[in-house]
Structure 1
């Protein structure tokens, strides 16, 4: 999953308003009403919530350069969630490609690491959607003028993390605007991470890349002028908490916690502090349908 300028933050807020990402209604969990106030058996004894994440995806989860402390929007939301539910949050750091299996095999209670809800992934795990991410094409400032229209990406080298949903969006973009329109195919360079994609761009091995708008806005705050977003945002996709398949008690607990964070304004405050209010959404169970 997945990673411009200060102007981008304002642009993204405008985008969020235009596509009306806020105010979605929670989806009721089948058969969850009776036990919605009870703790799942896996956490009843120790009152601990084990949360897996891969801290290499700022501003969602990362290690602070100065303090080395675990930081990020997901970290703050998970801690706030635990507080609301009366649970101690224990973070377990893992490689991104281990996260889904970790929750599927009950080594952790949930994953919160900028993971997109998809129909394919719903076959093996369940999701509680909590944020709408907007993917962006971006490049180095000196190359920004090269990309005035979608057709300008055709025939170019595009770097994107193969472990994120942005890889699939790159394939869709290529099919719709390039090969499907009789233009040269995009030369997609799959990488192991968003950081690796950025490196490909900075070493001039790629012409353009794809990352979440929130990640680019973060880099604009910490390293102004390093990258420049180009063209229009890609379709919004939901980030979600991942829970074990058919663990309705855990999914209900997470949904309840997020509803409480929304009701008292904690959720909105955390997003606003990171300039991510554009992606605010009420918790939704397996919200992606196609």
Structure 2
């Protein structure tokens, strides 16, 4: 889509410091909604007048830096709307993906919104407000799509996947059920520190496959048509959720109510459609994964 990069620039949020890890999103404009109110938010957030959100900007189209190095993506746009509805400023705090959960536990941020899946395991130490129906995919280089027509074609191959995502455990299970349980060679799994690193393994010809959110593939199909291709059955992806500290029900409910307002206004669907992921629309739900 020719206008895609321009749309990303329009949606991008400027970092306040070129070399800092923290960026304020929306400034005082987040309180411009005449119906905005901080009612329902924890007192500490009301007093601060801002909501600190942790993210790792390496997962387009959910969150990334565009060609101008500005933050852009689905979550960035939704965060802006969230701030407007709640009547607070949004402060983005960047961290590597594998440190995001800890940033909530230590109080560095109030919540994480960064394409993070709501899982039963994660619910043991955190609560989620689910807001997007993700889908997971196995994919390969576009030139190799014909090599993978049935599930057993993965056996004996090599696959890269971020070791910090739920896809890592899913592909381990897939190797067992599709390959080793049937006497076929196992799927060699290479854990990486991010989805981008897994994709690089495909680019360099070191692996045959990778596993990642289908949202990534939708984005790359727009920016680099034909370079990658999803193959075989989708992975059983969990919904993306906004992660807050375990037991922080006041904040979770405030976020859920704000998302309901964003949906009712029509802005939610417009944002998803703008980034080509309209299929992921859902009503917000707290700890929806069972």
Does the alignment reach a TM-score above 0.5? yes
| Aligned counterparts of 2:236 and 2:95: Cα–Cα separation in 1 | 28
Structure 1 segment 35-184 matched on structure 2, within 5 A = 37-65=39-67, 67-184=68-185
Q: Which runs of 5+ in 1 are unaligned?
A: 1-35
| Contact 2:138–2:210 under 8 Å retained in 1 | yes
> Which residue of structure 1 aligns with residue 272 of structure 2?
271
| Aligned counterparts of 2:216 and 2:89: Cα–Cα separation in 1 | 28
Structure 1 segment 270-289 matched on structure 2, within 5 A = 270-289=271-290
| Aligned counterparts of 1:247 and 1:211: Cα–Cα separation in 2 | 30
TM-score after normalising by structure 1: 0.85
- Structure 1 residues 162-196: Cα deviation after superposition (integer angstroms, max 9, x where no partner): 11111111112112211122221100011111111
| Aligned counterparts of 1:181 and 1:40: Cα–Cα separation in 2 | 53
| Aligned counterparts of 1:189 and 1:40: Cα–Cα separation in 2 | 42
> Which residue of structure 1 aligns with residue 19 of structure 2?
none
| Aligned counterparts of 2:274 and 2:181: Cα–Cα separation in 1 | 41
Higher relative contact order by CA 8 Å / sep ≥ 6: 1 or 2? 1
Structure 1 segment 114-263 matched on structure 2, within 5 A = 114-263=115-264
Q: CA deviation at 1:37?
A: 4.2
Q: CA deviation at 1:38?
A: 2.2
Q: Which moves more between the two structures, 224-233 or 150-159? A: 224-233
Aligned structure 1 segments of 4 or more residues deviating by more than 2 angstroms: none
| Aligned counterparts of 2:260 and 2:40: Cα–Cα separation in 1 | 16
Q: CA deviation at 1:149?
A: 0.4
Q: CA deviation at 1:236?
A: 3.2
3-state DSSP of counterpart to 1:77:
helix
Q: CA deviation at 1:223?
A: 1.2
Aligned length: 253
- Structure 1 residues 22-53: Cα deviation after superposition (integer angstroms, max 9, x where no partner): xxxxxxxxxxxxxx942212201122011110
- Structure 1 residues 126-152: Cα deviation after superposition (integer angstroms, max 9, x where no partner): 101111111111111221111000000
| Aligned counterparts of 1:39 and 1:208: Cα–Cα separation in 2 | 44
| Aligned counterparts of 2:288 and 2:279: Cα–Cα separation in 1 | 18
| Aligned counterparts of 1:228 and 1:249: Cα–Cα separation in 2 | 42
| Contact 2:60–2:219 under 8 Å retained in 1 | yes
| Aligned counterparts of 1:182 and 1:279: Cα–Cα separation in 2 | 37
| Aligned counterparts of 1:59 and 1:212: Cα–Cα separation in 2 | 10
- Structure 1 residues 233-285: Cα deviation after superposition (integer angstroms, max 9, x where no partner): 11231110000110111101110111101111111111011111111111111
